[in-house]
C-alpha cells in the first residue's frame, strides 16, 4: 500500500500535543482560497520552480524527456501541459531551483520515518497526519496508526472534515487526538471560498463528537471571510450544540504559502491581503469564551 506524501516534518509543536512528527498527505477535496499548503491540493506529483535559485545552467532543459522546460524568461519555467512530474529535472538541478511535490511512500517507509523521532515524543508527543486531507487515505492511515499504537506512539489526525464519513469512522478508533477544522457555518459562503458546501463537514463534526474523541476544533481566522462576530457566534453555538465542553483554537491567517503559489504558477486569491490585527483576534477569542468555550490562539 502506498500514498503520496509531500513532506514528513519532525519536531513540530503546532500540530497536536507535545513534540510531533507530521506526515503531509497530497490531495484535498477543498480549494480554500487562503490555503497555506497549495502543493498538497492536487493528488498528483508536481514540480515547482523557485526562480531566485535558478542559475540558468540549462541542465533541466537538457534532461527533460517531454520538452516541458521553458527557456523564455517571460514565462514560468515549467510547462505544466507537458510536465509529467517525473522529477528528472529536479534530480539534475544542483541549485534547488526545482522541487518535487509528492513522493510515493509505503506504510512501512512512513512508519520508519516517524519511529526515528520517537526519542523526542516524551509522554504526549507522537505522529500527526495532515495534508492536504489524510482522510482520503483511510486504509493507509489506519495501517500506519496500527503500527504506531503497537509501538506506543501517540496518534493525531488533522482534518478539514471533508471526506466520506466511513473514512473518519475507520480511523477514529486508532486516533488519540483529532484536530478538526471549522471554516464557516454559512454553507453558501463556505462554497464560495472553499469550492464545497459545509454539510458533510458539519455532519462529520457531529459524528466525531458523538464518538467521544478528544477533539480540538480549529478555526482558521480569515480576514473578510469568517472573522465577523455573527459567524463566530454561530460557530460557537454549533460547537456547544454537538459537544458540552468543546475546545477551540483560532488559527490567524498568514501569508507563508505565497512562495509556493509562485513556485507552482498558481493564482493566489489572498495575495496582498493583510494579516488580522491582534485586537480582532482577541475579539474573536472573547466571543468563544462568552459561550463558555475554552479558546486558545495558535502562535
One DSSP character per residue, 87-132 reads -HHHHH-SSS-EEEE-EEEEHHHHHHHHHTTGGG-TTT-EEEEESS
What's the confidence (pLDDT) of residue 272? 87
Q: What is the pLDDT of residues 37-50, one digit of tens each?
A: 999 999 999 999 99
Residues 6+ apart with CB under 8 A from 276: 221, 223, 227, 252, 253
Question: Is the pLDDT score of 255 beyond 90?
Answer: no
Per-residue CA distances from 19 to 76, 120, 125 (Å): 38, 7, 5
Contacts by 278-282 with C-beta closer than 8 Å and gap 24+? 280/223, 280/227, 281/221, 281/250, 281/252
Three-class SS of residue 2? Answer: strand
Q: What is the pLDDT of residues 205-240, one digit of tens each?
A: 999 999 999 999 999 999 999 999 999 999 999 999
HSE-CB of 52 using CA atoms within 13 angstroms? 3
How long a stretch of residues is the chain? 299
Banded model confidence at residue 280, pLDDT cuts 50, 70, 90? very high
Question: Is the pLDDT score of 250 beyond 90?
Answer: yes
Residues 6+ apart with CB under 8 A from 107: 1, 3, 140, 143, 144, 147
Q: What is the pLDDT of residues 31-79, one digit of tens each?
A: 999 999 999 999 999 999 999 999 999 999 999 999 999 988 788 999 9
Q: Which residue has the cell 526519542?
A: 119
Residue 278 neighbours by CB distance under 10 Å: 10
Residue 87 neighbours by CB distance under 10 Å: 16
CA dihedral of residues 58, 59, 64, 69 (deg, nearest 10): -30
Q: What is the pLDDT of residues 174-200, one digit of tens each?
A: 999 999 999 999 999 999 999 999 999
Ordered domains of the chain (ranges, CATH)? 2-43+105-297 (3.20.20.70), 46-101 (3.30.70.20)
Question: Is the pLDDT score of 201 beyond 90?
Answer: yes
**Nearest-angstrom CA–CA distance, 57 and 99:** 16
**Nearest-angstrom CA–CA distance, 90 and 92:** 5
Residues 6+ apart with CB under 8 A from 268: 38, 257, 258, 261, 262
Question: Is the pLDDT score of 267 beyond 90?
Answer: yes
Banded model confidence at residue 299, pLDDT cuts 50, 70, 90? confident
Please list, residue by residue across 14-31, b when 16 or more beta carbons sit within 10 angstroms of its beta carbon and e when fewer do.
Answer: ebbbbbbbbbbbbbbbbe
User: Do the Cβ atoms of 198 and 241 come closer than 8 Å?
Assistant: no
User: Do the Cβ atoms of 150 and 115 come closer than 8 Å?
Assistant: no
Amino acid at each position: 500500500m502506498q500514498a503520496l506524501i509531500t513532506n514528513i516534518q519532525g519536531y513540530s509543536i503546532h500540530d497536536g500535543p507535545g513534540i510531533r512528527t507530521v506526515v503531509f498527505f497530497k490531495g484535498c477535496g477543498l480549494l480554500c482560497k487562503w490555503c497555506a499548503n497549495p502543493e498538497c491540493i492536487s493528488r498528483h506529483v508536481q514540480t515547482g520552480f523557485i526562480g531566485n535559485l535558478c542559475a540558468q545552467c540549462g541542465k533541466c532543459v537538457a534532461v527533460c524527456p517531454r520538452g516541458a522546460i521553458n527557456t523564455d524568461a517571460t514565462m514560468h519555467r515549467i510547462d505544466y501541459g507537458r510536465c509529467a512530474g517525473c522529477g528528472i529535472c529536479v534530480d539534475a538541478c544542483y541549485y534547488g531551483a526545482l522541487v518535487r511535490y509528492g513522493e510515493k511512500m509505503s506504510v512501512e517507509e512512513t512508519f520508519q520515518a516517524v519511529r526515528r523521532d520517537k526519542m523526542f515524543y516524551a509522554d504526549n508527543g507522537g505522529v500527526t497526519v495532515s495534508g492536504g486531507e489524510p482522510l482520503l487515505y483511510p486504509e493507509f492511515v489506519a495501517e500506519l496508526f496500527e503500527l504506531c499504537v503497537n509501538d506506543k506512539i501517540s496518534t493525531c489526525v488533522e482534518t478539514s472534515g471533508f471526506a466520506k464519513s466511513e473514512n473518519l469512522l475507520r480511523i477514529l478508533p486508532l486516533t488519540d487526538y483529532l484536530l478538526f477544522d471549522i471554516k464557516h457555518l454559512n454553507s453558501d459562503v463556505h462554497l464560495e471560498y472553499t469550492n464545497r458546501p459545509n454539510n458533510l463537514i458539519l455532519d462529520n463534526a457531529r459524528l466525531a463528537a458523538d464518538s467521544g474523541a478528544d477533539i480540538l476544533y480549529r478555526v482558521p481566522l480569515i480576514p473578510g471571510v469568517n472573522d465577523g462576530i455573527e459567524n463566530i457566534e454561530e460557530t460557537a453555538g454549533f460547537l456547544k450544540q454537538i459537544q458540552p465542553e468543546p475546545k477551540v483554537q483560532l488559527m490567524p491567517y498568514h501569508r507563508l504559502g505565497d512562495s509556493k503559489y509562485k513556485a507552482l504558477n498558481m493564482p493566489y486569491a489572498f495575495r496582498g491581503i493583510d494579516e488580522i490585527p491582534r485586537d480582532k483576534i482577541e475579539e474573536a477569542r472573547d466571543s468563544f469564551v462568552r459561550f463558555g468555550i475554552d479558546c486558545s490562539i495558535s502562535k
